[in-house]
Amino acid sequence: MATYPKVKRNVLLNPGPATTTDTVKYAQVVPDICPREKEFGQIMKDMGEDLVKIVHGDLDKYTAVLFTGSGTINIDSTVSSLVPEGKKILVLDNGAYSGRAAEVAQYYHMDYIDLKLPITEPIDVAKAEEAIKSDPDIAVVYCCHHETGTGILNPIREIGAVAHKYDKIFVVDTTSTYAMIPIDMDKDNLDFVMASAQKGLMSMTGLSYVVGNTAMIEASKNNPTRSYYTNLFMQYDFIKNKGEMHFTPPVQTVYATKQAIKEYWEVGEQAKWERHQSVWEALYKGLDKLGFKTIIPREWQSKLVISVLYPDDPNFDFQTFHDYLYARGFTIYPGKVSDMPTFRLCALGTITPADIEDFFVVVEQAMKDLKIQVPCVYK
């Protein structure tokens, strides 16, 4: 590969897109190519297989269906495609991302149950079972693995066991865990998972994918078609028979993702997960030192996202604080815990504990310059 200049490195502590390697950035610089060429089709085919293998899926049983779009396109696709005529989807809703699935069902005028659960706790499996049992018309059970809005990790393996006990299709939004927390399709009792290339894989935006049970995708052919662009069977069938995406793929993001997957295999699942956790620990170390309070008990967290409570300090203004950090190469992100005043720090991307130590040097300086009390004050 040609040598290119180093790109300015920003440490993104937002929940995706994530900080990427320069090798992934530069993998996008390729000769122009029409994505209908065989050469490109082979890249897509290999990529689809890798995307299944990352979640330990058997290629005889599971398939990856790729879409051009942000991660929400997967929610749109699974919710609109997998529910048979006259049946319902049950959404186990404990945050903004699972809530989005209920919204999709609403927009498609589908029959759905939005089971609203406390957003500051993991899903209670007994409550999930009660809801699954209560209505024989439920065909699909849906939840989010890691509610990126709060940082809560849900017990998907246990929920999946219950969903399968009652013979339901189990769909999980794994957008903010895929290629970070190890996932195993069979052991975790999953039928469908989903993600987007710019999160755990640390690639670019615009490529999203559902990994799912092939027989279930084929059976979904008979379901009402509620969407055109995001219909799961149609996209699957096209990829299978024509070896290419139905409509224009995000060509450069595909090249970046090919490189990102190569780097994923080189690092390895366990080592990568350990690095993310070490970043989370470094974040907590810095927060604890400055007296910041967080809202979710640590044992319930994904170890990928921390929701931090604003200090009760008249000089703390999120936007000013954000802008100060942003100007120095660090991006923090607003919170999403209903109306609680929080911001988020995330451990996605190619960042290390050393980056977090640098970050807290800047945070301390920000607090000094903006006259925010250290340690933080809370009423």
Binding site for ligand PLP (CB under 6 A): 15-16, 70-72, 97, 144, 148, 173, 175-176, 196
Residue number with CB closer to ligand PLP (67 or 360)? 67
Q: How far is the CB of 94 from ligand PLP (least distance, A)?
A: 12
Long-range CB contacts (< 8 A, 24+ apart) of 296-302?
296/120, 296/150, 296/151, 296/152, 300/121, 300/122, 300/152, 300/153, 301/151, 301/152, 301/153, 302/146, 302/151, 302/152, 302/153, 302/176, 302/177, 302/181
Alpha-carbon distance of 14 to 35, in angstroms, equals 31
Q: In the complex with ligand PLP, which residue's Cβ is closer, 97 or 321?
A: 97
For 256, the enclosing helix (H) or strand (E) is: helix 251-267
Query: Please, which residue, 176 or 307, has the CB nearer to ligand PLP?
Result: 176
Using CB positions, name the residue nearest to ligand PLP: 71
Toward ligand PLP, which CB reaches closer, 176 or 220? 176
Residue (20 or 148) nearer to ligand PLP, CB: 148
Task: Provide, rounded to whole angstroms, the least separation between the CB of residue 268 and ligand PLP.
Answer: 23
Residue 141's φ and ψ, nearest 5 degrees, are -110, 130
Cross-strand partners of 116:
93
Least CB distance from residue 346 to ligand PLP, whole Å?
9
Q: Please report which residue ranges of 10-144 form alpha helices under DSSP H.
A: 22-26, 38-54, 72-81, 96-107, 125-134
Q: How far is the CB of 85 from ligand PLP (least distance, A)?
A: 27
CB of 175 vs ligand PLP, minimal distance in Å = 4
Q: Minimum CB separation from ligand PLP for residue 59, in Å?
A: 25
Shortest reach from residue 71's CB to ligand PLP, in Å: 3
Q: Which is nearer to ligand PLP, 152 or 245 (CB)?
A: 152
**Residue 375 φ/ψ, nearest 5 degrees:** -65, 160
Q: Least distance to ligand PLP from the beta carbon of 185, Å?
A: 18
356, amino acid identity: I
Q: Could you give phi then psi for residue 88, rounded to 5 degrees?
A: -125, 160
* Strand, coil or helix: 175: coil
Q: Give the closest residue to 80 by CA, choosing from 114, 108, 106, 99.
A: 108
Query: Which CB, 48 or 200, lies closer to ligand PLP?
Result: 200
Contacts of 54 (CB under 8 A, 6+ apart): 178, 179, 183, 261, 264, 269
Q: Which is nearest to 207 in space by CA: 35, 356, 337, 56? A: 35
Query: Tokens in use for 34?
Result: 């029409």
When the beta carbons of 148 and 231 are compared against ligand PLP, the nearer one is: 148
